[in-house]
Amino acid sequence: MKKYYSITELTREFGVSTRTLRFYEDEGLIHPERRGRTRLFRPADRALIQEILRGRRIGFTIAEIREIIQVYKEPPGEVGQLKLLMKRVDEKRDELRQKRKDIDDTLAELDNVEEACLTRLAEIGVGT
């Protein structure tokens, strides 16, 4: 396994800009090492970036992503906080299930759109 990745290496791999990765660092989502001022990303940082981008794709805000990351690093120590967190996790799950249903519905709809297109193409093809 590789020891370090440069910032551009990762931007190429994930299709994001350097600005984006620095932004994530500013936001406290990642903490790459430094050699001088230059950032050195380790495999763990890379994995974290993958997670962040996954969260982004499904519409999580930076704050939400940060929150999930925090829990891994160190789950809250106070009972009230823990329970609140669990409630939020539960809500998130409901939201995601809804979203999955929306996606399935939309996929079906896109099938219809495609069919409409094919029909239209056939019509035109016949007409000429």
Partner DNA sequence: AAATTGGTTTACGTAAAAGTCAATTTTTCG
Partner DNA sequence: CGAAAAATTGACTTTTACGTAAACCAATTT
Using CB under 7 A as the binding rule, whether residue 81 contacts DNA is answered as no
- Among 12-20, 68-76, 90-98, 114-122, which window interacts with DNA (CB under 7 A)? 12-20
1, two tokens: 């396994």
The contacts of residue 9 (CB under 8 Å, 6+ apart) are: 41
- Among 19-27, 43-51, 85-93, 103-111, which window interacts with DNA (CB under 7 A)? 19-27
Q: What is the DSSP letter of 36?
A: T
Using CB under 7 A as the binding rule, whether residue 50 contacts DNA is answered as no
18, two tokens: 């350097």
Distance, CA of 84 to CA of 86 (rounded, Å): 5
Distance, CA of 103 to CA of 99 (rounded, Å): 6
Which of 13, 18, 82, 86 lies at the binding interface for DNA (CB under 7 A)? 18
Helix (H, G, I), strand (E, B) or coil at 38: strand
The nearer residue to a copy of itself, 40 or 53, going by C-beta atoms, is 53
Kindly identify the residues of this chain, within the stretch 51-80, that bind DNA according to CB under 7 A. Answer: 56, 60-63
Residues that bind DNA (CB under 7 A): 6-9, 16-20, 22-23, 35-39, 56, 60-63
